[in-house]
Amino acid sequence: MDHAPKFRIGELGYRVGVRPELLRAWERRYGLLRPARSERGFRLYSEADEWRVRLMQQQLHSGLSAAEAAREVAAMERERNPSEDSLETPVELAHALGTALEGFEEEGAHAVLDRLLGIHGLERAIRDALMPYLRELGERWARGELSVAQEHFASRLLEGRLLALARGWNKGPGRRAIIACPSGEQHTLPLVCFGLVLRNHGWRNVYLGGDSPVNTLHMAADTVDADVVVLSAVSSERFLSVAKELGALARRRPLALAGAGATPELARDLEVECLDGDPVSGAEALARRFAKLAPMSSDFR
């Protein structure tokens, strides 16, 4: 976790979806933030401060008061720092999470998620624990090793927890993305993970969720003047079934395909961008691509 001072409180607020006034209150009352001073006297905040704020948000969403949440964050940080090598790895925590989810242990699953996010942060938790677990979950369900009830319970709990972290991800001055799954696609968890990482790179998200017809994407993108539309699917067939409509959308608005169903060959045929790989890599690639363009330009291709 990087403690180097990087950004002012306004940018921190955009990244985490919290008003600067509230961040200042948390800093003043609970010592949650630990800014450094720039040569010109500005307070500068680090990724460690962002990590503390996100933990604070998680604790608040779980029902704790602000004072209780701040104490929990401080306890997690004390646990994390002295003996980093002895902490549970993402793989170990993913295994513990699966055990709790598949046993319908809601409280236990949330406790593991608290540890996972607290120790390793959002992006590493997604890349090294949640996405590998979700792939394994789908494979085991396909082999008949898990029931429909177990798969649904696990997916809904994880989605609910991640969407709680997504509150405020449409705020700020950054570029704006429409993120959705095409018609017939219900696997929204990779999309939510993608959106969370994209938000960490300063973007705003309009989340339409699963089974989104292309005409609704047109309407949403035009309404907010989106910089890009991102569609995620686990199967290429979901994209191919609406290929003509996607082509029309891509002629009007930058379009990118993501998820396991997005392949370079498919993207080349449709003449759109392909964000292959895990949601963390895909979101980072999109952010890098736009960072090379002129400010707020829509020149994607």
Residue type, 45: Y
- pLDDT of 298: 42
Give the Å distances, CA to CA, from 210 to 51, 193, 207, 238. 29, 14, 9, 11
d(CA 38, CA 95) in angstroms, rounded, equals 43
Angle between helices 131-142 and 189-200 (to 10 degrees): 170
Quote the tokens at residue 66: 């602000």
- Using the 3D structure, point to which of 85, 109, 131 is the last residue of a domain: 85
Same domain assignment for residues 180 and 133? no
What is the dihedral angle through the alpha carbons of 148, 153, 155, 158, rounded to the nearest 10 degrees?
-170
Number of domains the chain is built from: 3
Q: Which of 36, 242, 61, 285 is nearest to 168 (CA)?
A: 61
d(CA 115, CA 118) in angstroms, rounded, equals 5
CATH code assigned at 16: 1.10.1660.10
Residue-by-residue pLDDT tens, the chain, 301 positions: 567 788 889 888 877 778 899 999 999 999 999 999 888 888 999 888 888 888 888 788 778 899 998 998 888 777 665 445 556 889 999 999 999 999 999 999 998 998 888 778 788 899 999 999 999 998 999 999 999 999 999 999 999 999 988 888 888 778 999 999 999 999 999 999 999 999 888 899 999 999 999 999 999 999 999 999 999 999 899 999 999 999 899 998 999 999 989 988 888 888 888 997 889 999 998 988 887 665 544 444 4
How many residues are recorded in the chain? 301
d(CA 170, CA 165) in angstroms, rounded, equals 12
Classify strands 228-232 and 255-258 as parallel, antiparallel or unpaired: parallel
Residue 171 lies in a domain: no
Residue 219 lies in a domain: yes
Residue 3 lies in a domain: no
- Using the 3D structure, point to which of 144, 165, 186 is the last residue of a domain: 165
Residue 126 lies in a domain: yes
The DSSP line for the chain is ---S--B-HHHHHHHHT--HHHHHHHHHHH-----EE-TTS-EEB-HHHHHHHHHHHHHHHTT--HHHHHHHHHHHHHHHSTTGGGSPPHHHHHHHHHHHHHTT-HHHHHHHHHHHHHHHHHHHHIIIIIHHHHHHHHHHHHTTSS-HHHHHHHHHHHHHHHHHHTTTTT-SSS-EEEEEEETT----HHHHHHHHHHHHTT-EEEEEEEEE-HHHHHHHHHHHT-SEEEEE-SSHHHHHTTHHHHHHHHHHS-EEEESTT--HHHHHHHTSEEE-S-HHHHHHHHHHHHHTSSTT-----
Same domain assignment for residues 115 and 203? no
Give the Å distances, CA to CA, from 83 to 1, 119, 229. 14, 11, 43
Residue 42 lies in a domain: yes
- Contact criterion met (CB below 8 Å) for 227 and 296: yes
Same domain assignment for residues 205 and 185? yes
CATH code assigned at 261: 3.40.50.280
- pLDDT of 59: 81
Residue 206 lies in a domain: yes
- pLDDT of 238: 93
Same domain assignment for residues 287 and 180? yes
- pLDDT of 127: 92
Same domain assignment for residues 180 and 264? yes
CATH code assigned at 127: 1.10.1240.10
Same domain assignment for residues 211 and 278? yes
- Using the 3D structure, point to which of 109, 139, 165 is the last residue of a domain: 165
Same domain assignment for residues 261 and 285? yes
Residue 298 lies in a domain: no
What's this model's pTM, rounded to 2 decimal places?
A: 0.76
Can you give the residue range of the structural domain that contains 92?
88-165
Question: What phi and psi, each to the nearest 5 degrees, are found at residue 207?
Answer: -95, 115
- pLDDT of 122: 84
Residue 299 lies in a domain: no
- pLDDT of 290: 84
Same domain assignment for residues 191 and 279? yes
Same domain assignment for residues 190 and 149? no
Same domain assignment for residues 141 and 156? yes
Same domain assignment for residues 113 and 37? no
Same domain assignment for residues 210 and 278? yes
Q: Could you report how far apart the first and last alpha carbons of the chain are, in Å?
A: 34
